[in-house]
Amino acid sequence: MSSPTTQPDSPASAGTGASQSRGFFGHPWGLANLAGVEMWERFSFYGMQALLAFYIYYSVTDGGLGMSQAAATSIVGAYGGLVYLSAVLGGWIADRVLGAERTLLIAACLIMVGHLALAFIPGMLGLAIGLVGVALGSGSLKTTTSTVLGDLYEKGDQRRDAAFSIYYMGVNIGGFAGPLLTSALWGWKGFHWGFGLAAIGMAIGLIQYLAMRKHTVSASSMKPGNPLSASQKRIWTVVLLAAIAVIALALSFGFITA
C-alpha cells in the first residue's frame, strides 16, 4: 500500500508529491502557477508604475491630478520605499503568523484591490488606496512566491535551480510587456484605461493562481515556520493598533502630506 505522503494532489503533502511530479517540462505544475502569477503581477506592477508619476502631475484637463512634479516624485519615491519595506513585513507575517502560501494569496488580493482603486476611484482617494494596496501586496508577494516555489522541491533536488530560472523568465516577460501595453492604452484612451489594463492583468494572475492552487500548496508553505506564542500575538496586536493610531493622527493633523 502506498503512503499517503506520496500523493501529488494532496495539499497536505504537495511538498513531497509535487517534487516527484514532472507535468510541466519535467517540473511540478506548481512552478507554472507561481511563474504565471508573478508574470501577471509584474505586468500590472510595472504597467501601473509607468503611468504613475505622469498621472500625479499632469493637469486635470489632461486626466491627471494636477499636482507639482516635486510632489509627484516624492509620492512615487515613498511608494517605492514602501514596496521594499513590505517585503520585510510580508516575510515576517509568513514566518510568524500565516505561512507563506496564505500570505501569498492575501498579498495577491491586496494588489488586486489596489489596481481596481486606481482604475475606478478618481482623485487622491483612489491614488492613496491604490498605492498602499499595491505596495503592501507586491512586496509580500515577491517574498512569498520564491519561498513557496522552493518548498515544491525536496532538499538536494537538482531541478530547483532550473525552476527559479523559469520563474524569473516569467518575471521578466511581465515586466517587459506591462509598461508597453499600459502606456499605449493611456495614449489612446487615458490614464484610467491604462490602470484598468493593469488591473485586468492582475485579475488574470489571481484567477489562474486560484485555479491551480492545489498544485502549489505544500505542508511547509501552509504553516508559519516560527509561529508567535499567545502572549506575543497580544503584544503585536497592541503594537499594530498603536501604529495605525499614530498614522491616523499624523494624517489628521497634517504632519504627513503629499
Same domain, 132 and 165: yes
What pLDDT does residue 253 have? 84
Has residue 108 been placed in a domain?
yes
Identify the top-confidence range among 24-38, 109-123, 240-254.
109-123
Q: Is there a single domain that holds both residue 153 and residue 222?
A: yes
> How many domains does the chain contain in total?
2
CA dist., res. 96 & res. 251, Å (int): 30
Is residue 163 located within the same domain as residue 248?
Answer: no
Q: pLDDT value at position 21? A: 54
Give the pLDDT of residue 93. 94
pLDDT value of position 258: 62
Check residues 2 and 252 and name the one with the higher pLDDT: 252
pLDDT above 60: residue 175 = yes
Query: What percentage of the chain reaches a pLDDT higher than 90?
Result: 74
pTM of the model: 0.85
Q: Quick one: 121 and 202 in the same domain?
A: yes
- How far the first Cα of the chain sits from its last, in Å, is 65
Instruction: Please report whether residue 12 resides in a domain.
Output: no
| Helix/strand/coil (H/E/C) assignment for every residue in 71-131 | HHHHHHHHHHHHHHHHHHHHHHHHHHHHCHHHHHHHHHHHHHHHHHHHHHCCHHHHHHHHH
Q: Is residue 9 part of a domain?
A: no
Same domain, 126 and 48: yes
Determine, yes or no, domain membership for 82. yes
- Pair 245, 201 in one domain: no
> Do 173 and 239 belong together in one domain?
no
Quote the mean pLDDT of the chain: 89
- The answer on 151 and 237 residing in a single domain is no
Work out the average pLDDT over 22-45.
91
- Please check whether residue 1 lies inside any domain of the structure: no
Q: What integer pLDDT is reported at residue 15 of this predicted model? A: 44
Find how far residue 82's CA is from the centre of its chain.
13
Q: Which tops the pLDDT comparison, 145 or 19?
A: 145
pLDDT value for 127: 96
pLDDT digits (tens, 9 = 90+) for 185-230: 999 999 999 999 999 999 999 999 999 999 898 888 888 989 999 8
Q: Is residue 133 part of a domain?
A: yes
64 & 128 share domain: yes
Q: Are 61 and 187 within one domain?
A: yes
Nearest to 17 by CA among 6, 28, 27: 6
Query: Does 216 share its domain with 238?
Result: no
Q: Is the pLDDT of residue 8 over 70?
A: no
Q: Which domain holds residue 250?
A: 228-258
Residues 84 and 113: beta-carbon distance below 8 Å: no
Residue 14 in any domain: the answer is no
CATH number for the domain harbouring residue 132: 1.20.1250.20
Looking at the fold, whether 47 and 60 belong to one and the same domain comes out as yes
